[in-house]
């Protein structure tokens, strides 16, 4: 986590009213222009010229133009030396040069400049200037990781500035004391000092200082496990720095935002902010901070399993920090390289020894704790659990004052070590303590996507506790723990769906408060125009190449803007999470009580090396643990998907489908718990979210799973009682429901879609078919709110770079209206109030999210069109796992609606799929296996 320092500036012994007034207000560009104008005079005295050059240097320093800042300040110093100018003027220039060097990471040069400033201040017996220069030396000492000496310097500055009533300088001292306290692991002192700095800055209306204190507070709150407060603080800081055009401070705040998203597990957003920060630091040649962000980015690469890039970036960061003498930062580089090292790395023990020695010499509690955690992790992996526990015990006192991240990691490590030693009671207790901290932090995130991502990041902690509970014979508790890893955000969303009308303006208010949506719309329109022009035969040769360059640039800019907006949505306030059912624990008994007699619930948890399968009936619960590497399971699923997405009937994929049946279904069959079961409710996890369960085959007779059971899919087991309770309390719906609508906006591109819509209208009395330009986004929004079945036969686009911008395409309506532009995007769906008992998304890949094409699974995939409709209030959603043939889609939909009046959506889909697979024309799984029903699968409140 980035920790900002606040530098001490020098008083101006010679005043320039215009420039000084602008400078004091934080208008540094205007101040520099005023001082440059005065410098143009040829009649200036040498002392006045030197003063103005230093002033220009300080203004350039503030707007991160360090090359000019250093050049003009050096010129001032040359004049002062040549003409014997000393005292306050010389101190001011030396101090400014020290600040410029420090900000660029040139620590040895900065230290020399500040020492010169101290000597000059002492020569004129100026106590305030001495204290300021010593405080600035404290910044260098902090980067050298000499925290005690730095703290002494800052305390001296605080006392001196307080004695003369200089609130701004005193505020700087308190902010820097907060920085040192953070580095030393004293969070309570850090918070106290940062708040005092903020109070003093606010008292003197000094916004530049306020943003720095807010950055410190963001870091403190994140370390304490309060992400909501951390985001609020850094958002306030960003508002200030952008208002004043402070590029270095903006880069630092962007890095903090990257840290917050990385800790939340939103790696795309973290990479986005780190890259922005890196660009700003690199442009200003701020070497130390650029190296810090390089390490941050390496950690994201590691989390994304890109170990080659992670190691390369981490190594470059370490070399840069070593060259700059930034010992504390180099230690963090070492920790990352240790995490990236293979278990059999011959140099790993030496690296651990060196890191431990360096951590002890620094005297920082977080450094010693992290060193102990790294050592204990290696020991536990080598099976030396008792040694791992001893190592953790050695920093137990320090851990009590450490941040939430360190504390849950310690508990999780102890749980694994106890489990290795078969001390199951202790392992369970430590595992529960780890999860308690994790869930406390998780509850502090303001939105479902971030809560979900954070839980997914800690997936292995939950899996470890599941394994311990199963060894203890506590099957129900194991099931509850497994479901808790994914169930919070989904259940929360479902339980609060009825309040969407009150909350739907949240995203919109954020959107309207910024220019981001306008920028996105403009870029998207421009890109579409250039692509359409190119598709109509836009010039070839050099012109065509130029066009492609323009399009690539537009796509990159659009992706960046959308990523920024997704991140903004993710941290938007969506209400008090403590009031939501989704934050309550999963209860096995409640889930079982929601099952009917002929149902069984299958839930899966995909851990690093183990697959956990739970089978629930109304009166029984069983669990199975299978040694299975997550990566291998992902490969199996992708192979089967690739084979089935071919419209052939030659039996390709049978072996892969049988292998997955044996892994996922056969244990439950052998247990006897599927005897008499007609319908399976399935809660997939990770890559299993993208598996066509319907096409799994029993090797004994070759029958597909869909031929034996009806299949319904749920985002979590905890969602089942919430959804069925919601259905039972809803108004009874007559069947067929009135106001049912089918939309087919592109009959020319998708010829069968018009027939699909007309067949829908024929199957459901009083239904409407909206075809071509009548099928607008506005019409869809009205249909979803009207309470009837809604069928959408259209293009759907999965945006793998920006999942929240995945969309369903419709006919454009009112020009310039965001809610009628022909693109219903996923983030908009979350804000709808949907009353439909059934939404059928007959498009391409409407049931999958971005992780379907990734080697990295993010736990439950929150960002899918199907789940978005479910969360917004639809009772059941039919969606697809891959691109479906146009004619095949129309055929399946017609068969589905033919059965629907006498069957539930799950039954109707299963009957349609069974009929399709028995027909030569549509027998290939490509045509029918990609359809899934998600929802409660309970239409008992409908009047037949």
What are the DSSP calls for 161-205, one per residue? HHHTT-HHHHHHHHHHHHHHHHHHT-HHHHHHHHHHHHHHHHHTT
- Give the chain's end-to-end CA distance (angstroms, integer): 59
pLDDT of residue 883: 81
pLDDT at 490 over 60: no
Q: Which of 146-150, 159-163, 449-453, 642-646 has the lowest mean pLDDT?
A: 449-453
pLDDT of residue 349: 87
Which residue pairs from 400-404 have beta carbons closer than 8 angstroms and sit at least 24 positions apart in sequence? 401/185, 401/186, 401/187, 401/188, 401/365, 402/185, 402/365, 402/366, 402/369, 403/185, 403/187, 403/222, 403/223, 403/224, 403/225, 403/366, 404/223, 404/224, 404/225, 404/437, 404/440, 404/441
Confidence of residue 577 (pLDDT cuts 50, 70, 90): very low
Q: Are 732 and 943 in contact (CB under 8 A)?
A: yes
> What does the pLDDT look like over 299-327, one tens digit per residue?
999 998 899 999 999 999 999 999 999 99
Residues 421, 107: Cα–Cα separation, whole Å: 48
pLDDT of residue 2: 47
Q: Which of 36-40, 121-125, 727-731 has the lowest mean pLDDT?
A: 727-731
pLDDT at 685 over 60: yes
pLDDT at 735 over 90: no
Mean pLDDT of 373-377: 94
pLDDT at 130 over 90: no
One-character DSSP codes across 6-68: -PPPPP-SS--HHHHHHHHTT-HHHHHHHHHHHHT-TT--HHHHHHHHHHHHHHHHHTT-HHH
pLDDT of residue 562: 78
Confidence of residue 727 (pLDDT cuts 50, 70, 90): low
pLDDT of residue 508: 37
Residues 49, 65: Cα–Cα separation, whole Å: 20
Confidence of residue 579 (pLDDT cuts 50, 70, 90): very low
pLDDT of residue 506: 38
∠ Cα 492 496 497 (to 5°): 115
pLDDT of residue 650: 63
Please give the residue that has the higher pLDDT: either 142 or 517: 142
Residues 745, 780: Cα–Cα separation, whole Å: 11
pLDDT at 389 over 50: yes
Say which residue the tokens 């870029």 belong to.
523
Say which residue the tokens 């597990």 belong to.
265
Confidence of residue 861 (pLDDT cuts 50, 70, 90): low
Q: Which of 219-228, 491-500, 749-758, 928-937 has the lowest mean pLDDT?
A: 491-500
pLDDT of residue 533: 64
Confidence of residue 245 (pLDDT cuts 50, 70, 90): confident
pLDDT at 496 over 90: no
Residues 850, 599: Cα–Cα separation, whole Å: 31
Sort strands 610-616 and 621-627 into parallel, antiparallel or unpaired: antiparallel
Confidence of residue 736 (pLDDT cuts 50, 70, 90): low
**DSSP single-letter state for residue 347:** T
pLDDT at 295 over 70: yes
Proportion of the chain above pLDDT 70, given as a percent: 86
Mean pLDDT of 683-699: 93
455 backbone dihedrals φ, ψ, rounded to 5°? -65, -40
Q: Which of 505-519, 561-575, 808-822 has the lowest mean pLDDT?
A: 505-519
Q: Are 791 and 759 in contact (CB under 8 A)?
A: no
**Per-residue tokens: 778:** 């506005």
pLDDT at 248 over 60: yes
Please give the residue that has the higher pLDDT: either 476 or 445: 476
| Prior bond of 736 cis (ω within 30°) | yes
Mean pLDDT of 630-655: 86
pLDDT at 294 over 80: yes
Show the 3-state SS of 245-272: CCHHHHHHHHHHHHHHHHHHCCHHHHHH
**Per-residue tokens: 465:** 């506790």
Mean pLDDT of 798-820: 81
Confidence of residue 41 (pLDDT cuts 50, 70, 90): confident
Confidence of residue 344 (pLDDT cuts 50, 70, 90): low
Which residue from 162, 160, 163, 195 is spatially nearest to 177, judged by alpha carbons?
Answer: 195
Proportion of the chain above pLDDT 90, given as a percent: 56
pLDDT at 605 over 70: yes
Q: Which of 418-422, 535-539, 589-593, 730-734 has the lowest mean pLDDT?
A: 535-539
- Burial (Cβ within 10 Å: 0-12, 13-18, ≥19) of residue 729: exposed
Confidence of residue 555 (pLDDT cuts 50, 70, 90): confident
* Residue 165: partners with Cβ closer than 8 Å, 6 or more residues away: none
Residues 944, 935: Cα–Cα separation, whole Å: 20
């Amino acid at each position: 986590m980035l920790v900002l320092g606040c530098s001490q500036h020098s008083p101006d012994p010679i005043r320039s009213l215009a420039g000084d007034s602008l400078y004091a207000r934080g208008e540094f560009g205007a101040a520099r222009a005023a001082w440059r104008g005065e410098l143009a005079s040829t009649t200036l005295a040498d002392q006045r010229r030197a003063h103005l050059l230093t002033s220009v240097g300080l203004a350039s320093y503030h707007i991160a133009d360090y090359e000019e800042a250093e050049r003009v300040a050096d010129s001032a110093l040359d004049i002062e030396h040549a003409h014997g100018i000393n005292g306050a003027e010389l101190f001011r220039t030396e101090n400014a040069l020290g600040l410029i060097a420090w900000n660029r990471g040139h620590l040895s040069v900065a230290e020399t400049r500040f020492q010169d400033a101290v000597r000059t201040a002492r020569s004129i017996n100026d106590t305030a200037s001495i204290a300021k220069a010593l405080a600035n030396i404290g910044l260098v000492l902090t980067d050298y990781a000499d925290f005690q000496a730095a703290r002494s310097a800052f305390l001296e500055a605080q006392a001196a500035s307080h004695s003369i009533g200089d609130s701004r300088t005193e505020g700087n001292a308190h902010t820097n004391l907060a920085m040192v306290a953070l580095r030393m692991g004293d969070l309570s002192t850090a918070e106290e000092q940062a708040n005092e700095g903020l109070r003093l800055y606010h008292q003197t209306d000094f916004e530049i200082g306020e943003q720095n204190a807010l950055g410190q507070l963001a870091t403190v709150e994140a370390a304490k496990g309060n992400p909501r407060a951390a985001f609020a603080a850094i958002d306030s800081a960003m508002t200030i720095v952008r208002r004043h055009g402070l590029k270095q401070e903006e880069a630092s705040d962007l890095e903090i935002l990257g840290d917050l998203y990385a800790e939340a597990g939103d790696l795309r957003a973290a990479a986005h902010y780190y890259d922005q920060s890196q660009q700003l630091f690199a442009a200003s040649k701020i070497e130390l901070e650029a190296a810090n962000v390089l390490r941050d980015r390496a950690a994201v690469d590691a989390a994304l399993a890109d170990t080659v890039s992670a190691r390369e970036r981490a190594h470059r960061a370490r070399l840069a920090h070593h060259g700059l003498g930034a010992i504390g930062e180099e230690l963090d580089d070492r920790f990352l390289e240790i995490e990236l090292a293979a278990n059999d790395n011959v140099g790993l023990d030496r690296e651990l020894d060196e890191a431990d020695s360096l951590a002890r010499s620094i005297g920082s509690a977080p450094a010693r704790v992290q060193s102990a955690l790294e050592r204990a992790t290696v020991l536990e992996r080598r099976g030396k659990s008792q040694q791992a526990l001893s190592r953790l015990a050695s920093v137990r006192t320090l851990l009590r004052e450490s941040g939430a991240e360190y504390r849950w990691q310690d508990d999780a490590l102890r749980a694994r070590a106890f489990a290795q030693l078969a001390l199951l009671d202790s392992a369970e207790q430590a595992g529960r303590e780890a999860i308690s901290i994790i869930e406390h932090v998780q509850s502090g995130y303001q939105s479902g996507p971030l809560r979900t991502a954070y839980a997914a990041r800690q997936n292995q902690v939950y899996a470890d506790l599941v394994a311990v509970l199963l060894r203890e014979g506590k099957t129900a508790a194991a099931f509850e723990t497994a479901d808790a890893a994914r169930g919070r955000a989904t259940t929360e969303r479902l339980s609060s769906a009825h309040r969407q009308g009150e909350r739907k303006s949240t995203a919109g208010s954020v959107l309207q408060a910024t220019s981001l949506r306008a920028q996105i719309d403009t870029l998207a329109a421009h890109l579409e125009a250039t692509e359409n022009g190119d598709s109509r035969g836009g010039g070839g040769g050099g012109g065509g190449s130029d066009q492609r360059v323009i399009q690539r640039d537009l796509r990159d800019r659009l992706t960046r803007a959308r990523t920024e907006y997704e991140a903004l949505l993710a941290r938007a306030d969506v209400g008090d999470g403590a009031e939501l059912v989704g934050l309550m624990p999963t209860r096995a008994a409640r889930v079982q009580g929601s099952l009917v007699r002929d149902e069984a619930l299958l839930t899966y948890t995909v851990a690093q090396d183990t697959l956990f399968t739970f089978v629930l009936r109304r009166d029984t619960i069983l669990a199975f643990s299978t040694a299975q590497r997550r990566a291998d399971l992902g490969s199996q699923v992708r192979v089967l998907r690739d084979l089935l997405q071919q419209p052939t009937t030659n039996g390709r994929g049978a072996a892969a489908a049988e292998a997955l049946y044996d892994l996922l279904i056969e244990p439950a069959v052998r247990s006897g718990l599927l005897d008499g079961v007609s319908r399976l409710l399935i809660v997939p996890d990770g890559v299993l979210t993208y598996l066509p369960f319907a096409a799994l085959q029993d090797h004994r007779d070759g029958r597909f799973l869909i031929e034996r059971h009806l299949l319904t899919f749920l985002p979590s087991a905890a969602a089942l009682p919430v959804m069925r309770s919601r259905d039972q309390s809803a108004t009874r719906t007559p069947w067929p429901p009135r106001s049912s609508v089918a939309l087919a906006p592109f009959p020319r591109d998708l010829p069968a879609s018009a027939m699909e819509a007309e067949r829908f209208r024929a199957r459901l009395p009083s239904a409407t078919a909206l075809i071509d330009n009548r099928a607008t986004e506005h019409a869809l929004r009205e249909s979803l709110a009207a309470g009837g079945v809604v069928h959408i036969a259209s293009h759907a686009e999965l945006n793998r770079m920006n999942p929240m911008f995945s969309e369903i395409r419709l006919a454009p309506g009112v020009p310039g209206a965001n809610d009628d532009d022909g693109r219903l995007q996923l983030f908009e769906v979350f804000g709808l109030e949907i009353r439909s008992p059934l939404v059928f998304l007959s498009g391409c890949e409407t049931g999958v999210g971005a992780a379907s094409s990734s080697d990295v699974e993010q736990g439950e995939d929150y960002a899918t069109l199907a789940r978005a409709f479910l969360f917004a209030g639809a009772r059941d959603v039919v969606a697809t796992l891959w691109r479906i043939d146009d004619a095949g889609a129309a055929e399946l939909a017609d068969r589905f609606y033919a059965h629907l009046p006498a069957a539930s959506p799950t039954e109707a889909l299963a009957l349609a799929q069974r009929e399709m697979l028995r027909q030569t024309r549509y027998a290939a799984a490509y045509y029918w296996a990609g359809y899934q029903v998600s929802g409660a699968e309970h239409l008992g409140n409908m009047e037949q």
